[in-house]
Structure 1
Amino acid sequence: MAPDAREESSGPRLVRPYALTSGRTESVVDLPIEATLEVQPSGRSANWPEGHMSGRIIELCATSQSVAEVSAKLHIPLGVARVLLGDLITAGHLKTRATISEDTTTDERRELIERTLSGLRAL
Structure 2
Amino acid sequence: MVIPNQSRSARVRPYAITGGRTRSRHPLLLETLISVPDFDQDVRDKLIPEARDIYVLCQVKQSIAEISTRLAMPLGVVRVLVSDLADHGQVQVHPTGHVAGQPDRGLLERVLRGLQTIS
Tell me the TM-score range normalised by the shorter chain.
Answer: 0.5 to 0.7
Gaps of 5+ in 2: 1-7, 99-105, 115-119
Q: Aligned partners of 1:65, 1:88: CA distance in 2, in Å?
A: 14
Once the two structures are TM-superposed, the CA of residue 47 in structure 1 deviates from its matched residue by 3.9
Q: 1:13 maps to which residue? A: 9
CA contact (8 A) 2:15 2:21 kept: yes
Q: Aligned partners of 1:89, 1:38: CA distance in 2, in Å?
A: 10
**TM-score, normalisation: structure 1:** 0.65
CA contact (8 A) 1:40 1:92 kept: no
Q: Does 1:84 align with 2:87?
A: no
Q: 1:57 maps to which residue? A: 54
Structure showing the higher helix proportion among its residues = 1
Larger radius of gyration: 1
Alignment of 1:1-123 (within 5 A): 13-14=9-10, 15-41=12-38, 43-45=39-41, 46-49=43-46, 52-100=49-97
Structure 2 SS opposite 1:37? strand
Structure 2 SS opposite 1:48? helix
Aligned length: 94
Runs of 4+ in 1 over 4 A off after TM superposition: none
Gaps of 5+ in 1: 1-11, 102-108, 118-123
RMSD: 2.6
Paired-residue identity, %: 35
